[in-house]
Structure 1
Amino acid sequence: MLKYVLVRIGWIFIILYIILSMNFILLKLAPSYPPADKDQRDIYYARQVLDGYMTMDIITDQATINEYKAGNFDRNSKYYYQIEDDQVNIYIPVPISIQYFKWLENVLTKWDWGVSTRIEVNAPAFDVLKSRIPVTLRLNFIALFVYIPIGFLFGIVAALKSNTAIDNIISFFVMIFISVPSFVLMMLLLLLFGYALGWVPTQFPASNINDLGLQIRGLILPVLGLSFGSIAGLTRLTRAELKEVLTSEFLLLARTKGLTKNQSVIRHGMRNSMVPLVPSIIGSFVGLLSGSVIIEQIYGIPGTGRIFIRAMASGNYDYNVLLTVTAFYTIISLLAILLVDLSYGIVDPRIRMGARK
């Protein structure tokens, strides 16, 4: 088992390396968007030279300086220049292959993912992300602990009351909430409870507001927006798995040995139906994260999803922040896949991942 875990962790690093390398190369091939402000742009280019992504040539010939001032030299995608009173600084990007290895060196030795060019100009990209990770994780973990018990409860009731009016009602709402995207549901909830009824704030409260009640009410809409679809999915899966177990021979044998229906369901039925349910719950956390990207933008939540959207704004791209956020979501996804595999052996000890035949 330990060997299997170590091998899987090794594959996580390999896949993460491949994904981030591809993203780095693609982003470097795209047109660059340095800071718009001149002073900030000067700082940015100096940092690029320091990090090894560019080299700088200084022109002091007055005739050439005058040519630059007259605009006779076109700015293009490969060379950037800054005109000073007595010199022109020309910044030349080094080949992408060299930039790539410098990037690896900076990340591995200094945990330096570059600097932001548009969101928080010249701030380290990881620091821009780091301040927003707790907000996103808190929101998604609350949604996770809300939808799990509710989804289980509705799924168990639907399975025990199969083909009855209760089962039909639950199945009807399940199909509705599975079909409606989370961001559409979030907008409907915002219009109804935020603007029409005024029960909850229409924007996520700022972190510096010392009002616990307002902070709690600010979590209601995004948690509901993330939870309804997950509740519907877990309800449907729980109903299907438990209903199949309830008709199995081993459960009938348990009943003939004297167990009541509730005892047989709790002791045997639920345990066997958990084998596919627990991995699906772990995997659904990744789905919650992806859904929160749009919800954070709609509700003004200062999380990782919101800066991801801002970094992708047309004509305002922030490549280093994009790469850092991509690393965050990729790591979460790969760790979730590992936990899904390990959960099989935890739920059912008869399953041994990586064991030989």
Structure 2
Amino acid sequence: MKTYILKRLLTMIPVFVITSVIIFSIIHLTPGDPARVILGDRAVEEEVIALQERMGLNKPLPVQYGDWIKGIFQGNLGESLFIDKPMWEIIADHMKPTLSLTIYALLIAVGIGIPFGILAARYRGSFLDHGVTFISLCGISLPNFVVALLLMLLLAFRIHLFPVAGYKGIDEGIGLHIRYLTLPALALGFIHTALIMRMTRSSVLEVLNSDYVKMARAKGVGEASIMVKHALKNALLPIITVIGQTAVTLLAGAVVCEAIFNIPGIGQLVVTSIERRDYMVIQAVVLVIALINMLMMLALDILYAVIDPRIRLSSR
């Protein structure tokens, strides 16, 4: 197992290098001088040159990239031109709402998607199965911003069950924190709930049609035991794959819901930094999100190996 994890860690090194090069290239090859954008059209040339020197924009691009990577390995992600805080503190402050929203949406997607997917497979062809299929198609078809507006109209404006928008931190009370996050989490997790439902249903159905399940039924094994010990256990790998992809997609897709519900998360920080051309913040945020995604994929690979030891053997 240690060898397997070590190999996965080593494969992350070239991924990190390629990701950092892409992030740096996209940011720095965008047309326009960020120093002139920051200072405005009326800035004198001396001020522009001074800001370019401060930001290191007067150096060749390979040198700028080398300085950035060197700073990262020294624990320095850069310095914001507009926020007077360390970069790690800036990212941490905005990452808390995003992680809370992402985890809540993931719990909703998994908590609803897997049970209803199993029930749809168990009662194939029933009214429940058709209902799950209909909800799945709606979830896949509707964008999350449409779902967000519908939820705001129904649950906030009409019923007044949840706040329309805004954010309350967990330090202000867990109940209030969850109440403000419920609508955006439902909107963000709806499409992924549909995907997990469909994948769970199809995976469990495939296992239920296998010979060993038919043999278990012939021996008189109870239906509940068949669903849990045989069907779900052997259908876990594709379901876990979808859940891992869902976690990554939720983290990246939270930007829209944060904008609609006015949540001061990482998406809001990125949008504001793009408008200001605050390059160091954009680079740092995108790199941190990429690292989180890589760690999620690493955890997913390890979970694969724990569930199915054959994966470890095949890697050798």
TM bucket (normalised to shorter chain) is 0.7 to 0.9
For residues 318-354 of structure 1, the C-alpha deviation after alignment (integer angstroms, 9 at most, x for no partner) is: 2211111111221122222222222222222343265
Residue in 1 aligned with 2:7?
Answer: 7
Equivalents in 2 of 1:43, 1:215: separation in Å?
45
Pick from 97, 114, 135 the counterpart of residue 78 of structure 2: 114
- Give 2:140's aligned residue: 178
Deviations 1:60-97 (A, max 9, x none): xxxxxxxxxxxxxxxxxxxxxxxxxxxxxxxxx12222
SS at match of 1:351: helix
Would you tell me which structure has more helix in proportion to its own residues?
2
Contact 2:168 2:176 in 1 (8 A): no
Query: Partners in 2 of 1:211 and 1:271 — Cα distance?
Result: 37
Residue identity opposite 1:320 in structure 2: M
User: Does residue 102 of structure 1 match 2:102?
Assistant: no
Identity %: 30
Question: Within 1, Cα distance between the matches of 2:180 and 2:193?
Answer: 21
Q: Deviations over 1:159-218 (max 9, x none)?
A: 011011221121111111111111221122123322333322222235499465543321
Structure 1 residue aligned with 2:203: 241
Question: Is 1:320 aligned to residue 284 of structure 2?
Answer: no
2:259 aligned with 1:297: yes
Measure, in 2, the Cα distance between the counterparts of 1:211 and 1:248: 49
Shift of 1:13: 2.3
> Could you tell me how far apart the structure 2 residues matched to 1:229 and 1:289 are?
14
- Alpha-carbon contact 1:205-1:214 (below 8 Å) kept: no
Q: Does 1:22 align with 2:22?
A: yes
Higher relative CO (Cα under 8 Å, sequence separation at least 6) belongs to 2
Do 2:248 and 2:296's aligned partners in 1 also have CA atoms closer than 8 Å?
Answer: yes
Equivalent residues in 2 for 1:202-217, closer than 5 Å: 202-207=164-169, 210=172, 213-217=175-179
Correspondence for 2:101? 139
Change (3 A) 1:212 1:333: closer
Structure 2, unpaired ranges of 5+: none
**1:113 alignment partner AA:** L
Normalising by the residue count of structure 2, what TM-score does the alignment of the two structures yield?
A: 0.88
3-state SS of 1:202 partner = coil
Amino acid at match of 2:33: S
Distance of 1:227 and 1:208 partners within structure 2: 20
Instruction: State the match for 2:290 in structure 1.
Output: 330
- Mapped partners of 2:168, 2:226: distance in 1: 50
Q: How many residues align?
A: 311
Q: Separation in 1 of the partners of 2:171 and 2:178?
A: 12
Contact 1:148-1:234 at 8 Å conserved across structures: yes
Structure 1, gaps ≥5 residues long:
55-92
Deviates more, 1:134-143 or 1:340-349: 340-349
Cα separation, 1, equivalents of 2:47 and 2:168: 30
Stretch of structure 1 that moved more, 141-150 or 244-253: 141-150
1:294 touches 1:306 (CA, 8 Å); kept in 2?
Answer: no
Alpha carbons of structure 1 residues 11 and 182: separation in structure 2 relative to 1, 3 Å: same
Supply the distance in 1 between the matched residues of 2:83 and 2:122 (Cα, whole angstroms).
Answer: 58
Letter in 1 for 2:71: N
Query: Which residue, 220, 230, 243 being the options, matches 1:268?
Result: 230
In terms of fraction of residues, the more strand-rich structure is 1
